[in-house]
Amino acid sequence: MKALIILLTIVSLNGNVKVDGVKATTETPITLDSYVETGLNSKLILDNGLILGPMKKGLVSTFVDRHITNRKNENKIAEDYGITKKAVITSSSRASEAKEDLDWEEE
């Protein structure tokens, strides 16, 4: 029986990032079994949407599991409260709401 190996790609990295003890580049192959270390003021972004900030250490699989769990929780909370999309409040939307609230009487 063959094991399935998932290969992730580094989209972006800043600062001191090590994968399996070696300084990472955008060509560094990463699997779920890779051990990642990000230094102070460092950032690693993978193609699956995972973003690791400064001072993170651990297996990629652990970070991916947390990322998936957080996304599921966000979706569950949104469903519980009936939120379907994020509302972006702009000055024009506030102005139109304020205009509707005012009742003018002409004399």
pLDDT, tens digit, for every residue of 5-59? 778 889 999 999 999 999 999 998 898 889 999 999 999 998 888 889 999 999 9
Residue 95 lies in a domain: no
Residue 35 lies in a domain: yes
Domain count for the chain: 1
60 within 8 A of 44, measured Cβ to Cβ? no
Residue 12 lies in a domain: yes
Residue 9 lies in a domain: yes
pTM flag (> 0.75): no
Residue 71 lies in a domain: no
Query: What domain range includes position 15?
Result: 1-62
